[in-house]
Structure 1
């Protein structure tokens, strides 16, 4: 996937979350531990919902923000939507799974922060600030809920 505009970034991010959801759902079926299956099922559903929210965000975003160019980031830091799916989540423990998922969310948040720091148009800065907030909030929510599962 070639990423050149903020709209492409949203498509890429949606693909990352969707692919991660598919990977976790697949790994959940083969996991031996019940806690791992429960966590993977929860995270897969959460990632699917996040992908849906990103689609709605794109539909509501200003066309000028979506058409803002941002290709220089991806020339320096190539990204692959499927990189997280190479993990074998079914053989990890719950802490390792959460570390991998939170690392992916941090990578996306860092991308948004970089693009926000370079944005010159208010609509683009506003969109990216909202995306940063969304990713941070969802990562905190997943970590909190995963912690609650550990307490069970």
Structure 2
């Protein structure tokens, strides 16, 4: 996937969340641990919903923001949004799954922060702030909800 504009970034981010959802769902089907299956199912649903919200965000964003060039970041840090699911979540415990998923969210947040720091147009900065808040809140929600699951 060639990522050049902020519109492409949204497509890339959506692809990452969709891929995570598919992988979590796939791994959930193959695990024998009921606790892990419940966690993987919850996280897959969560990632799919986040992908849907990103699509809605893109539909409502201003064309000026979406057409902002941001290829510089991706020249330095090439990305692969459609990685294969190697069923790694199936072999992890619940804490490792959550840590891996939160690390993925942190990478996305880092990208948004970088792009925000370089944005010169108000509409672009506002869109990136909205995206950062969305990812940060969703990461906090995952951490909170999975901590509650651990308490059960």
TM-score (norm 2): 0.97
- In the TM superposition, 1:22-41 aligns within 5 A as 22-41=22-41
Paired residue secondary structure (1:80):
coil
CA distance in 2, matches of 1:56, 1:113: 21
1:79-107 superposed Cα distances (whole Å, 9 cap, x missing partner): 11134834510110000000100000000
Paired residue secondary structure (1:69):
coil
CA distance in 2, matches of 1:13, 1:86: 20
Q: Is 78-87 or 40-49 further displaced after alignment?
A: 78-87
2:82 equivalent in structure 1: 82
Task: List structure 1 segments (4+ residues) > 4 angstroms apart after TM superposition.
Answer: none
Deviation at 1:32, TM superposition (A): 1.6
2:99 equivalent in structure 1: 99
1:65 equivalent in structure 2: 65
Structure 1 contact 21–43 (Cα < 8 Å) conserved: yes
CA distance in 2, matches of 1:87, 1:121: 41
Q: Which runs of 5+ in 1 are unaligned?
A: none
1:61-95 superposed Cα distances (whole Å, 9 cap, x missing partner): 00000000000100000111134834510110000
What RMSD, in angstroms, separates the aligned Cα atoms of the two structures? Answer: 1.0
Q: Tell me the matched-pair count.
A: 152
Q: Which runs of 5+ in 2 are unaligned?
A: none
CA distance in 1, matches of 2:84, 2:68: 27
Structure 1 contact 84–104 (Cα < 8 Å) conserved: no
